[in-house]
Structures are given as C-alpha cells and as structure tokens.
C-alpha cells in the first residue's frame, strides 16, 4: 500500500484568504472574537489535514484485524447513530462499521413505505399537520438503574420539537410526542436513570405561549422552557410538566446519578438575551450557565398543585400494537411550573463561555461543561453544589433563580485541553474523553486530577463522540466513536456533498488508537451503543397472523376480494410466495380511490413482500411477515395498470404481479377480482391452493361488488 495523506494546506488557505477579506467576515473587524473563531478552526483544519494519523500508523499495528468481522460473524456492539437532517436513525455494527439498518423516525422513508402507507402516516402528524421531516440529534437508550437496558431508543426532532420512541425488539418507531411551548428541541431526549423521564429543552427562546409580538421585545416577551416527558410506559408518553425559564438558549442536558441523582443539568448560552447576530452578540458574557433542575422537587411541586394548567396544542402519536395502525391524538393543555412557585427546584451554575455539552461522569459526582469558546474544560462537583445550596453560596439571582458561586461549585478545570471543547464521554476507569471541534482532536483526561493523558487527531471537526455506555453509570468502554462534521479528503469524492465521517478508536490501552473510518448518513450528532447480546436474542422475527387485528386483514385467500363503498374501493389482498390474490381486478373507474390492504400471510423470518402499482403518487409499501399494510392509490386515467412485488422474495418473484383495469367514469364495468390461472396452477402444483369456488375467476368478487354497491 502506498497511500499517503493528501495535504490540503494550499486549498484551505486559499479559501481562508478569500473569506477573510469579504463575505462571511464582512461586518467584523479582523482580530475580533468572531474573526478568530472562524480563522482558527480553518487553519487548524488545514494543519490537521497535513498532520498525524497516517496510514503508516495504522499499518504498523493490527488495526485491520481488530475491526474485521469475518463473514457469518456478528459485531460485538449495536451502535445507534442519529441521522441528523435525514430525520432517521442508522444502526451500525461495531467494530466493523457495517450499516445494519436505517430506522425511519421523523421522515418519510420510501424504502419501506413509512410515512407513505396509511398505517404510519399518523406518526408524522403534528399540530402543524403532517410534518414529513425533522432533524434528529441525540439517540438515547432507555435505562434501568442508570444502565442502558436495550428496551427502547429515544430520539429528538429539533425543528418541530418532538421526541420519538423506537422499540428495539422490532427496530421500529412506535411513538412520537410533540413538545409545545418550545422551539428547537435540541437538549433532548436525555433520560433519567430509570427511564422515568426524557426531557426536551428549548434552543430558540420564543414567546410562551407563542403569540405575535415585535421581535424587539425579546427581553420582555421571550422565554425558555424545559419539558419533562413521562417515558416509562410504551404508548403512554405524556408531558408531565414544563418549567418556564429565562429566555436563554438551552443547548444540551444530562441527568444526574449517585450524588447528583434527582437532578437534571442543562447548558445555556445567550444569557445576553440577544435576538440578532447571535454569533457576536451571544458570545459577550464571560460565563453563561448550567441550569441545575431538581426534578424530584419539581415533580413534588406539580403534585402539590403549584404548576398552572395552560392551553397548548400538540400531538401524541403511537402505534396500536394489535392492529399495527398508528393513532394520533390532539392534546390541548400542559402543566407549567414557574421556578419561583417551587423554591429549590432550579439553580444556575456559572459556566464559561456559551457551553455546549454537559456530561455527568459514571459516579455522578462530576458535571463536565463543554465551553465551546472557553480555554478550559470546567467541571462542577455535585457534592459541592449541594453544599453550596445548603450554605446559600449565591452570587445573586436571575428571574428568581439563584446563581451559585462559580468557586463554590467548581471541582476543577482541565487546563489547555485544546480548542472548542464540545462533548465528553467516559470509560470505566475514571477517564474522560472530550471532543475538540476547533482543534479537531479527542482529548483524554483524568477525572479528579484533570491532567491530560492523551490526544488523538480526528478528521475533521469532531462534534459528538461516543463510548458504549459512555454517559451511563457503567460504561462498557473498549471503543470510542468520533463523529466528524467535515469529511474533506477521507473517501473517494462524490461531488459537492460528501457523506459524514465516523472514526473508531480502540481505547482499551493508555493511548487511543485509530482503527477505522466509515461514512455515515445525514449528519450524526450523538450516538449510543450497547453490547449486541442485550437485544440480539429478543428480535421479533415475524408477526403472528392469528393475532393480527388489522380491520382489513386476510388470513387466507378465501377471505380476499374487493368491495366498494361509494367512490372508495377496498382491495383485501394476500401476498404469499409467489403471487398476489386477487391479481386481476376490474371495474375501477376514474374518480375512485383504491385502498390496497395487503397482508403478507407468510409466517417465516425475513420473507418480505413489497407492492407498487404503476403511476401511484406514493412510495411502495413493504409487508413484513404477518403484517397488513395499506397503499392509497387514486387512478388518473383509464387503462390497465400492472402491479408487482418489489422485494425479491423467491425464484418466481418476477411472476409476482397482476393487473388492475381502470375504466372511464360511468362505464359500468362490474367490480371483479380473481386469482390468475398462473397463480392457481403454481399453488395447486405445490398442493396448497384451494380455489374459493369452482368457477374460479370472478367468483368471490362479484359478491363483494354487490355488497358494496355504488
Ligand atoms: S449537538 S455536535 Cu446537536 Cu448534540 Cu453537539
Ligand atoms: Cu413477493 Cu417478490
């Protein structure tokens, strides 16, 4: 192998020169904070591109062997990466970096019809109507006693604030709740130690309730909110309460544990209360805050009737487990708690400078701030915080919320960590690992002594990093995954838009060792991982046909057929290797709406069928074994339209097709549906097929037509 790192100093510097004289930097003076903030990362990026991590380093070790998962073998970990602006979650195996699945959450997904078929459309309903996209940032596994338990995965939608729950026996989105009185649901869906609550904090202060006011009245009218969503019962996610906060931007959060159990920590920036040119105006204060919320105290105040009920419109969507049809309910109020109505529920911990991440170590004693513009990594102490609260070591208050003295809560600062600390995860040996966005590196340091132990360059501009279990009480350690915002020269170029890049490190030794690069979809922000054995054996392989309660289920071909109700035609169809029944349908007229309800009657793992009909304004549907899915089709002109199975299911998959005939309005062709000779012969050869009646073709259908009438 003769590959060498390509050096991008030239091109990056040219880029830097161009933008430093006009464009982006126009309004700012050279040498201003804003200028530096842009210039420094650009230069460092260029240096990093010419720097360490050469292939020679990798080849000298046995990196390849350590990520090689032989054919037929399984990966050790499932890693769940947020899909960022893809709206999805992607599942990778580690250490191989193999993509196992995309789970659609807030986005329509043509690959399996999520958000296109009638059963799942309600999942994307919101108070704004159907919202078929969102921006997912943080995956969060459910926990028992502070340890990921493999039941569910939560993920937030930032743009139209929502939280989704994915069931990890099926890798399917089962529930979505919208968050009212919020905007930019970014600090979400971080979880408490026994999955009591997932949270969502507001990133963009707005009027609460959101009414029409001049934006110049920001200081008087804009507010923040922290939302606590009950999350420990499937299908019953519920907004327990919201806390009304000053109009800062709340960026990230984490629950406490051990000495900080019962607390939730949220970073804030823009304590300047700027509403324009935030880049400059929200970066003035030397310190912003970490808000410490005593959620048990807040919970008690709410139980005590101290929260006010206020009108709010938001939706709760969930999948009915017997029909597998999503339901959507509009909710109309929330309980809003003001911190002043519940003394002791909220405190501010001063934290330098527009902090981003807030991460709690496995013991629960240390609360690490990611001061993205700070020169240190500040670490607060839970014990000191509790003592400071008891001693009232306050430094004033803001809107009735006491500010604790920085020196009274600070455990220590990591000095000279690098530039742009964002996020920290932990191993099981008392070490912390912080991502450095600007200096493009991971910095490993020791909890308690704050000394830096190791640095590893990443390519390039790392956002989050992830260690399996690395934000929990018991990290599994072993690997660290860096998720990088800029990919540049890491892979074969693919035009102007490149995949994002993840990098896997071995962290089992003193020194981090880069093992693998792999491309990722959308823009993963956070990820979480857990040992595969926690969920591998619990996978649902197919749905029981006997338990399928879908109103249009057909369990046998004898139950299949068509019926008409006014202009709606319902096709109840069987999909089985290798035909549809019925597969010849006539008597549809332009002006009708056809609902194809297709049941995959197979009861065998991994035997899927798909369905598509020519000219449909929709995506295909995929039916898992034992499942019924519905495609809505509005034919637009007369003719004969083929439909076919889209998932290569058997040797005769190509034969798995049929025709539907569409006639002009009023043409009076009787509604009929039949099983083709071909399918009938194949089945009878297989010794399984029993025709519904002796006369075959138009047998059961005319009866249905007569029932439905016109
Ligand atoms: S964020 S890259 Cu959306 Cu969690 Cu920090
Ligand atoms: Cu069914 Cu291909």
Separation of CA 678 and ligand 1 centre (Å): 56
Q: Which two tokens stand for residue 438?
A: 């600007």
Any idea which ligand is nearest the CA of 135?
A: 1
202 Cα–ligand 1 center, Å: 14
Q: Is the CB of 254 within 6 Å of ligand 1?
A: no
Helix segments in 22-120, DSSP class H: 33-49, 55-60, 63-67
Q: What is the pLDDT of residue 102?
A: 98
> What's residue 55's pLDDT?
53
CB 574 within 8 A of CB 557: yes
The CA angle 473-475-477, to the nearest 5 degrees, is 165
The predicted structure's pLDDT at residue 61: 67
Atom of ligand 1 nearest to the CA of 485: 2
Which residue in 602, 566, 596 sits closest to 582, CA to CA? 596
pLDDT for res 698: 35
Question: What CA–CA distance (Å, rounded) separates 26 from 275?
Answer: 20
Exposed e or buried b per residue across 111-121, where buried means at least 16 C-beta atoms within 10 angstroms of its C-beta: ebbbbbbbbbb
Q: Ligand 2 center to residue 416 CA distance, Å?
A: 60
pLDDT tens per residue across span 300-316: 999 999 999 999 999 99
- Nearest atom, ligand 1, residue 137 CA: 3
Ligand 2 centre and the CA of 612: distance in Å? 11
Which residue among 357, 435, 465, 528 has the greatest number of ligand 1 atoms within 8 angstroms of its CB, and so is best to mutate?
A: 357
What is the atom index within ligand 2 of the atom nearest the CA of 610?
1
**Both tokens assigned to 344:** 């002791």
Q: How far from each other are the two terminal CA atoms of the chain, in whole angstroms? A: 73
C-beta of residue 370 within 8 angstroms of C-beta of residue 423: yes
Residues with CB under 6 A from ligand 2: 609, 645, 647-649, 653, 656
Token pair listed for 152 = 């569910």
User: Quick one: tokens of 53?
Assistant: 């991590």
The confidence score (pLDDT) of residue 676 equals 58
Question: What distance in Å separates the CA atoms of residue 181 and residue 187, rounded to the nearest whole number?
Answer: 14
Asked whether 250 and 264 are in contact (CB, 8 A), the reply is no
Structure confidence at residue 57 (pLDDT): 52
Query: Is 464 close to ligand 1, i.e. is its CB under 6 Å away?
Result: yes
Regions of the chain where pLDDT drops below 70: 1-61, 675-710
Residue 558 near residue 692, CB atoms below 8 Å: yes
Over the stretch 62-73, which tens digit does the pLDDT of each residue have? Answer: 899 999 999 999
Give the ligand at the shortest distance from the Cα of 643.
2
Residue to substitute in 355, 526, 527 for testing ligand 1 pocket (most ligand atoms within 8 angstroms of CB): 526
CA of 78 to the centre of ligand 2 (A): 29
Tell how far the Cα of 114 is from the centroid of ligand 2, in angstroms: 19
- Cβ neighbors of 211 (< 8 A, separation 6 or more) are none
Report d(CA 223, CA 465) in Å as an integer.
31
In the reported structure, the alpha carbon of residue 321 is separated from the centroid of ligand 2 by a whole-number distance in angstroms of 25
For ligand 2, atom 1, the nearest C-alpha belongs to 609
pLDDT at 60: 52
Alpha-carbon distance of 172 to 101, in angstroms, equals 11
What are the two backbone dihedrals, phi and then psi, of residue 677, each rounded to the nearest 5 degrees?
-55, -40
- Beta strand pairing call for 366-371 and 287-294: unpaired
Contacts of 563 (CB under 8 A, 6+ apart): 569, 570, 572, 671, 704, 705, 707, 708
Rounded CA Rg of the chain: 29
Q: Can you give the length of the chain in residues?
A: 710
**Ligand 2 mean position to 654 CA, how many Å?**
8
**Interval between CA 240 and ligand 1 midpoint (Å):** 25
The whole-number pLDDT of residue 317 equals: 98
Ligand 1 atom with the smallest distance to the CA of 252 is: 4
């Amino acid at each position: 192998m003769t590959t060498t790192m390509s050096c991008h100093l030239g091109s990056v510097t040219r880029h830097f020169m161009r933008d430093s004289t006009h464009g982006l930097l126009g309004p700012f003076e050279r040498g201003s904070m804003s200028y530096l903030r842009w210039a420094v990362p650009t230069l460092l990026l260029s240096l990093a591109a010419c720097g360490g991590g050469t292939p020679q380093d990798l080849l000298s070790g046995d990196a390849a062997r350590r990520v090689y998962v032989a054919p037929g073998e399984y990966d050790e970990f499932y890693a769940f990466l947020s899909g960022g602006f893809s709206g999805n979650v992607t599942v990778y195996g580690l250490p191989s970096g193999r993509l196992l699945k995309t789970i659609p959450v807030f986005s329509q997904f043509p690959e399996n019809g999520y958000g296109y078929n009638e059963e799942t459309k309600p999942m994307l309903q919101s108070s704004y109507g159907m919202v078929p996209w969102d921006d997912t940032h943080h995956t969060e596994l459910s926990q028992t006693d502070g340890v990921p338990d493999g039941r569910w995965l939560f993920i937030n939608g930032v743009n139209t604030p929502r939280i989704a729950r994915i069931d990890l026996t099926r890798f399917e989105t089962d529930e979505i709740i919208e968050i009212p009185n919020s905007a930019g649901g970014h600090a979400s869906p971080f979880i408490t130690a026994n999955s009591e609550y997932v949270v969502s904090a507001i990133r963009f202060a707005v009027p609460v309730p959101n009414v029409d006011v001049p934006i110049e009245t920001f200081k008087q009218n804009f507010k923040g909110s922290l939302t606590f969503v009950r999350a420990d019962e499937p299908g019953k996610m519920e907004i327990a309460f919201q806390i009304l906060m000053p109009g800062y931007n709340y960026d990230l959060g984490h629950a406490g544990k051990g000495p900080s159990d019962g607390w939730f920590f949220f970073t804030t920036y823009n304590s300047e209360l700027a509403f324009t040119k935030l880049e400059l105006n929200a970066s003035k204060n030397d310190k912003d805050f970490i808000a410490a919320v005593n959620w048990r105290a807040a919970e008690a105040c709410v139980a005590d009737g101290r929260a006010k009920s206020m009108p709010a419109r938001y939706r709760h969507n969930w999948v009915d487990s017997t029909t597998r049809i999503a339901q959507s309910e509009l909710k109309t109020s929330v309980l809003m708690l003001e911190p002043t109505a519940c003394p002791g529920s909220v405190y501010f911990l001063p934290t330098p400078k527009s902090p981003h991440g807030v991460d709690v170590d496995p013991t629960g004693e240390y609360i690490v701030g990611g001061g993205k513009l700070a020169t240190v990594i500040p670490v607060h102490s839970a014990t000191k915080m509790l003592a400071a609260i008891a001693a009232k070591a306050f430094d004033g208050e803001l809107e009735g919320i006491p500010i604790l003295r920085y020196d009274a809560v600070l455990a220590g600062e990591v000095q000279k960590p690098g530039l742009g600390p964002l996020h920290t995860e932990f191993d099981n040996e008392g070490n912390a690992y912080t991502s450095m966005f600007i200096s493009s590196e991971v910095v490993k340091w020791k909890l308690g002594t704050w000394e830096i132990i190791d640095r590893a360059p990443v390519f390039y501009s790392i956002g989050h990093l992830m260690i399996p279990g690395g934000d929990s009480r018991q990290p599994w350690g072993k690997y660290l995954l860096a998720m990088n915002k800029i990919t540049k020269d890491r892979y074969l170029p693919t035009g102007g838009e490149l995949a994002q890049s993840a990098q896997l490190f071995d962290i089992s030794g003193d020194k981090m060792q880069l093992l693998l690069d792999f491309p990722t979809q959308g823009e993963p922000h956070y990820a979480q991982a857990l040992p595969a054995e926690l969920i591998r054996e619990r996978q649902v392989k197919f749905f029981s046909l006997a338990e399928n309660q879908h109103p249009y289920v057909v369990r046998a071909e004898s139950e299949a057929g068509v019926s008409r109700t006014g202009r709606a035609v319902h096709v109840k169809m069987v999909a089985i290797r290798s035909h549809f029944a019925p597969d010849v349908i006539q008597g549809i007229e332009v002006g009708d709406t056809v609902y194809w309800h297709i049941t995959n009657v197979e009861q065998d793992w991994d035997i899927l069928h798909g369905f598509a009909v020519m000219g449909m304004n929709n995506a295909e549907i995929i039916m898992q074994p034992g499942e019924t899915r519905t495609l809505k089709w509005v034919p637009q002109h007369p003719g004969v339209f083929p439909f076919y199975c889209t998932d290569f299911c058997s040797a005769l998959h190509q034969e798995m097709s049929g025709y539907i005939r569409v006639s002009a309005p009023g043409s009076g062709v009787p509604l009929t549906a039949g099983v083709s000779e071909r399918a009938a012969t194949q089945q009878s050869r297989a010794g399984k097929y029993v025709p519904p009646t002796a006369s075959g073709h138009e047998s059961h259908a005319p009866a249905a037509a007569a029932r439905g009438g016109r």
